[in-house]
Amino acid sequence: MQLKRKPIAIALSVLTLSGLAALLSPAAAQNSGGGRYTVQSAPANPQPRNTVKSRAPREAQANPKSQPTRALAQPAPGVDEPAQPSAAQPRQTSGLPAPGERRFVTNEVVIEVAGRPSQQQVEALARRHQLNRQESQSFELSGTTMFRWNIPDGRNVASVIRSLEADNTILSVQPNYRYLLQQSKNADGIQYAVEKLRLPRAHQIARGERILIAVIDSGIDVGHPELVGTVEDSFDPAGGDGAPHAHGTSIAGAIVAHAKLTGVAPNARILAVRAFDPVSGSAEGTTFGILKGLEWATQKGARVINMSFAGPKDPIMARMLAAAGKRGIVLIAAAGNAGPKSPPLFPASDPNVIAVTATDLEDKLFQGSNRGHHVAVAAPGVNLLLPVPGGGYGMTTGTSFAAAHVSGIAALILQVDPDLKPDAVRRVLLSTARDLGPAGRDKDFGAGLADAYEALHSLGGRSDAIAGSTTQGGGR
CB 13 within 8 A of CB 203: no
Q: Cα dihedral angle (201, 436, 247, 296), rounded to 10 degrees?
A: 80
- Of the candidates 138, 142, 400, 407, the residue annotated as catalytic is 400
Amino acid identity of residue 226, one-letter, is E
Q: Does the N-terminal peptide bond of residue 347 adopt cis geometry, omega within 30 degrees of 0?
A: yes
DSSP letter string over 73-122?
A: PPPPTTTTSPPPPPTTSPPPSP-PPPTT---EEEEEEEEEEES---HHHH
Catalytic site residue 400? yes
Which one is catalytic: 203, 247, 258, 374?
A: 247
Closest CA to 128 of 200, 184, 64, 74: 74
217 catalytically annotated:
yes
User: What is the CB neighbour count within 10 angstroms for residue 33?
Assistant: 12
Q: Buried b vs exposed e over 97-127: b needs ≥16 C-beta within 10 Å?
A: beeeeeebbebbbbbbbbeebeeebbbbbbb
| CB contact set of 102 (below 8 Å; sequence gap of 6+) | none
What are φ and ψ of residue 38, in 5° steps? -85, 160
Q: What 3-state class would DSSP assign to 326?
A: helix
Beta bridge partners of 356: 334, 377
Q: How far apart are the first and last CA of the chain?
A: 41
Given 129, 136, 138, 217, which residue is catalytic?
217
Please state whether beta strands 304-307 and 212-217 pair in parallel, antiparallel, or not at all (unpaired). parallel
Q: Are 109 and 175 in contact (CB under 8 A)?
A: yes
* Residue 163 is a catalytic residue: no
Instruction: Report, as residue numbers or ranges, the catalytic residues.
Output: 217, 247, 400
